Amino acid sequence: MLINEKFFYKEEEKVNTIGVFKNPTQILYGLGVTDQIRKIIDEQNYKNILIITDAGIVKTGLINQITRQLDNINYSIYDQTQPNPTVKNCNDALDLLREVDADAVITMGGGSSIDVAKAVCLLATNSGSIKEYEGIDTCVNELLPLIAIPTTAGTASEVTTFTVITDEVRQYKLTVGGVKIAPKWALVDPLVTLSLPKHITASTGLDALVHAIESYTSKMANPITKALAREAIRKISNNLRQAVYNGDNITARDNMLMGSLLAGLAFNNTRLGNCHALSHPMSAIYGVAHGVANSILIPHVMEFNTLAVPELFSDIAEDMGENLEGLTLMERAAAAVDAVKKLSKDIGIPTTFSEYKVDESQIDRMAKDAMLSGNIAANPRITTYEDVIELYRRSIGGVLVEVI
Ligand SMILES: NC(=O)c1ccc[n+]([C@@H]2O[C@H](COP(=O)([O-])OP(=O)(O)OC[C@H]3O[C@@H](n4cnc5c(N)ncnc54)[C@H](O)[C@@H]3O)[C@@H](O)[C@H]2O)c1
Ligand SMILES: [Fe+2]
C-alpha cells in the first residue's frame, strides 16, 4: 500500500498540470483592426456608447478612428483619465455613462483608460463604489460590454481579468479581479501605437517584459503560460530598442504589441511577482508611472529571485540572446539580470527612484501595502516583510543592504 501511494505520487509529479487556462476576451489582432468597431456595434445592436480615453489620446487625433465610425450612434467621450487612474475618474466616467444611458463602452488608450473602463462597466450593473470590489470575483452581476483598443504595448489590460485603480484617499492601488472583468472584445492594432513617444514606448515596453519575466517565474506558471511568456520575452527583447529609437518601424511596433499581448495572456493566469507588488505602492504614493516603477525595480527583484530558481532565469537569459557558452548555472541566471540592465540603459530608463525623493519613513508603509498584494504569493522566492524593505532600500538609491 505504501509503495503504491509513493508510486502514484511520483507519477503525478511527472504530469504537466494546467488547471484552468482562462481567456474570456475575443481578440482581433492586425493592422487596421480598429476599423472593425462599427461591425461589432451593428451586430450587437448597440445604440448609446460611452468612450473612455485620456486627453493625450484625444490630442493625437487617434480618437477620430473611433468617432468616424459612429454615424447615427449616440455617444459621449470621457477623456479625463489620469495615469494611475483614480476612484474619482471611475465615478466621473460613471456619471457620464448614466447621462448617455450607454449600452456598451469603448475604451482607447493605455492601461489607465482600459482599467477605468473596466471599473465603469462593473459599476454600471453593480451598485456602490469600486473601492467595495477589491479582491477576486467580488461582483455579482455581469458587466456592461466593453470593447478595448490598447494604444500602449505594455499592460495588456485589453485581455486581463483585472482592473487596478488608485484610491487617492488611502494612496493605495486596489486590484479588482475575476473573469467578468475582462473586456468582451480586444481590437489589438499596431498602427495605433505608432504615435507613442519615445519615453512611453520605453517604460511601457519594459513593463510588458516584466510581465513576461514575472509570469514565467511565477509559482503558478504552467506549460501554456510558460510558452506564451518565453515568446513574449523573445519578441520584446528583440524589438524594444528599435521601437524606441525608430518609432515608425511598424515591424518593431507589431512585435512589441504582440509581445505585450502574449505576456498578458500568460500573467492573466499566473499573477505576477514582487516587482508588481512593490511598484504599486510606489505609484500610489509618489505618482511614479507604472512602467517606470517596474523598470527600476525589476533588476533588484531578479537578483533576489535568481537564488530560488536559477534554471528559469537561465532560460530568460537564453531568450534575451545572451551568450551562455561555458557559464555555470548561476552565471547564466546572472546573465538574465545583466541583459535586462543593458536593455534599460539602452532605452534610457532611470536606475533608481532617487529623483522621486522617496522618504525613508514611508518605506515601512509601502512594504506593508506591498505584502497585501496577491503577487507576493506567486513570487518564486518566499518573501518576507524584511525582504521587501531591503528591496525598496536598494531601488531608492539609499542605503545598500545585501539581500541574501
Ligand atoms: N489591468 C491590468 O491587467 C493591468 C496590468 C498592468 C498595468 N495596469 C495599469 O495600467 C496603468 C498604466 O498603463 P500604461 O502604462 O499603458 O499607461 P497609461 O495608460 O497611463 O498612458 C500613459 C501616457 O501615454 C499616453 N499614450 C498612450 N498611448 C499613446 C499613443 N499611442 N500615442 C501617444 N500617447 C499615448 C497617454 O495619453 C498617457 O499620457 C497603471 O495604472 C497600471 O497599474 C493594469
Ligand atoms: Fe505591469
Question: For 52-109, what is each residue's pLDDT tens digit?
Answer: 999 999 999 999 999 999 999 999 999 999 999 999 999 999 999 999 999 999 999 9
Residue 41 CA, ligand 2 centroid: distance in Å: 30
Expressed in angstroms, the distance from the first to the final Cα of the chain is: 43
Q: Which pLDDT score, from 0 to 100, does residue 10 have?
A: 45
Residue minimizing CA distance to atom 3 of ligand 1: 157
Tell me the three state secondary structure of residue 133.
Answer: helix
The CATH architecture that domain 26-193 belongs to is 3-Layer(aba) Sandwich (3.40)
Mean pLDDT of 225-230: 98
Mean pLDDT of 166-174: 94
Residue 199's CB: how many other CB atoms inside 10 A? 15
pTM, full prediction: 0.94
In 152-304, beta strands by DSSP E: 162-167, 172-177, 185-188
Closest CA to 305 of 279, 275, 331: 275
Domain ranges in the chain are 26-193, 198-395
pLDDT band at 146 (very low <50, low <70, confident <90, very high): very high
Q: Which pLDDT score, from 0 to 100, does residue 169 have?
A: 95
Question: For 214-223, what is each residue's pLDDT tens digit?
Answer: 999 999 999 9
Q: Which pLDDT score, from 0 to 100, does residue 15 have?
A: 63
The grid coordinates listed for 82 are 489620469
CATH number belonging to the domain at 198-395, selected among 3.10.180.10, 3.30.200.20, 1.20.1090.10, 1.10.4160.10: 1.20.1090.10
Q: Is the pLDDT of residue 141 over 80?
A: yes
Burial class of residue 127, CB neighbours in 10 A (0-12, 13-18, 19+):
exposed
Q: In whole numbers, what is the pLDDT of the chain averaged over residues?
A: 93
Q: Is the pLDDT of residue 403 over 60?
A: no
Please report, for the chain, how many H helices and E strands are present, in that order.
Answer: 16, 9
With a 6 A CB cut-off, is 261 part of the ligand 1 pocket? no
7 or 370: which leads in pLDDT: 370
Residue 176 CA, ligand 2 centroid: distance in Å: 15
Cα-flanking dihedrals φ and ψ of residue 398, to 5°? Answer: -90, -140
With a 6 A CB cut-off, is 162 part of the ligand 1 pocket? yes
Residue 327's CB: how many other CB atoms inside 10 A? 15
- For residue 379, give Cα distances in angstroms to 77, 369, 372: 39, 16, 13
Residue 152 CA, ligand 1 centroid: distance in Å: 6
Q: What does DSSP assign to residue 46?
A: -
Q: Is the pLDDT of residue 11 over 70?
A: no
pLDDT band at 355 (very low <50, low <70, confident <90, very high): confident
